[in-house]
Structure 1
Amino acid sequence: MQQCIPEAFMGTKSEEIPKAKDFLDAMEKRFARNDKVEMTSLLASLMSMKYKGRGNVREYIIEMYQIASKLKTLKIEFFEDLLVLMVLVSLPAQFNQFKISYSC
């Protein structure tokens, strides 16, 4: 198994890992997932989303909700009203009638 593992993953050739499970545990520690980076990128993408008039509006809204649900798994929850407001703000002027009827 050690001949198949690239040196970049092993660290040094002299390092011996007798079992595959030990190797996988070492790799998990070395390449730990950083939730803060994922949270930051998801929040940035959600806040900067703008509907550009191409494609289905419904799919666009579903995409925003999917990002919000990914954030929920990372323990960042949005109130439903805030998410709806973010969707309405991201829609262009051609949807003003829709925005007005929703507000009423």
Structure 2
Amino acid sequence: MAIRGSIIPTIRGAIPECETATEYLQKIKDQFTGSTKAYAGALIKKFANAEYDGSGIREYIIKMSHMAEQLKAYEMEQKEDFVVHHVLNYLPKEFETFIVNYNTI
């Protein structure tokens, strides 16, 4: 089967033999579905535990927004309000005025 020959040996060894290309592609998809769930779980954990590290507020907000966008690809979309409040909750006390101003809008 031509498809089998084009896959690197490490992955090829993990996929069982199949009669048809369609069946083989389904086995490949099934093999990596678990990996996708594991990645999504790790991303959720990273998002939930990400704290501001003092490097720059802009970078922190972009990093958090990017993680929230990545979660959409795994059908784990977070509402925008939740993301904003989550980001604000992990800011240090020096940003308290900013947080209060945001909450009064």
- TM more than 0.5: yes
The structure-2 alpha-carbon separation of the partners of 1:67 and 1:38, relative to structure 1 and needing over 3 Å to count, comes to: same
Rounded to whole Å, the distance in 1 between the matches of 2:81 and 2:73 is 19
Rg: which structure is higher?
Answer: 1
TM-score, normalising length: structure 1: 0.71
**Alignment-derived partner of residue 72 in structure 2:** 72
Q: Which one scores higher on RCO, CA 8 angstroms, separation ≥ 6?
A: 1
Unaligned runs of 5+ in 1: none
State how many pairs are aligned: 98
Is residue 2:46 matched to residue 1:45? Answer: yes
TM-score, normalising length: structure 2: 0.71
Could you say which structure has the higher helix fraction?
A: 2
Please provide the CA RMSD for this pair: 3.2
Percent of aligned pairs with the same amino acid: 30
Q: Letter of the 2:80 partner, please give it.
A: E
Rounded to whole Å, the distance in 2 between the matches of 1:8 and 1:58 is 40
Is residue 2:85 matched to residue 1:89? Answer: no
